[in-house]
Amino acid sequence: MSLKIRTPLTDQTVLELRVGQRILLSGTIYTARDEAHRRLFELIQKGEPLPFDPRGSVIYYAGPSSTPPGRVIGSIGPTTSSRMDPFTVRLLQLGLKGTIGKGKRSEEVKRALVEFRAVYFGATGGAGALLSKCVKRAQVLAFPELGPEAIMALEVEDFPLVVINDAYGGDLFLEREKWRRGNCQNPPF
């Protein structure tokens, strides 16, 4: 069963989430990937305001394909999160509560998730067509010149996710040891 949650995320919501849990997320999330993160970091260093309030927010590591006529958005699945690791701890310090992507996070990020009570969700990579159907509205907020790498505000409904790293130090990818052949009689999830 999936747990339904809504943005902005509060400490209380974050603390209810556990590694391996399936989630359906609704509300506003913000896209940002490589170049957008570099620019967000520049703004933070200069002390300038960010395109969105990071407090309670969720960032989606994604750069959609072009929007065909009559659609809200193009294909929009997650990109590999680890490339954003060097920028993530600072954003968590500023109140970011969730990130969505695919793949592993660094030890620093995992520690910061515990320290700042935040969570890392996985969306299914390569399922961009399916995920695009959960996006009800999309608006470019900053850096339009970056095209697919621009920061967008997305209004999502029941966006399917899995908790990969929770605020208690749990890591879904470490659980996989249990799946080595011969030792998977009791599915952990």
Please report, as ranges, the residues that interact with another protein according to CB under 8 A: 20, 22, 34-35, 62-68, 71, 74-77, 79-80, 82, 102-104, 122, 124-130, 132-133, 146-149, 160, 162, 172-173, 175-181, 184, 187-189
Instruction: For the CB of residue 178, give the shortest distance to another protein in the complex, in Å.
Output: 7
- Closer residue to another protein (CB): 73 or 118: 73
DSSP per residue, 26-53: EEEEEE--HHHHHHHHHHHHHTPPPSS-
User: Of the listed 37, 97, 104, 105, which one is catalytic?
Assistant: 37
Instruction: For the CB of residue 180, give the shortest distance to another protein in the complex, in Å.
Output: 4
Reply yes or no on whether 185 is catalytic.
no
The C-alpha atoms of residue 121 and residue 98 are separated, in whole angstroms, by: 7
Q: Would you say 76 and 85 are in contact if contact means Cβ atoms under 8 Å apart? A: no
The C-alpha atoms of residue 122 and residue 186 are separated, in whole angstroms, by: 23
- Closer residue to another protein (CB): 66 or 93: 66
Angle between helices 85-93 and 34-46 in degrees, nearest 10 = 40
Instruction: For the CB of residue 168, give the shortest distance to another protein in the complex, in Å.
Output: 18
Active site residues: 37
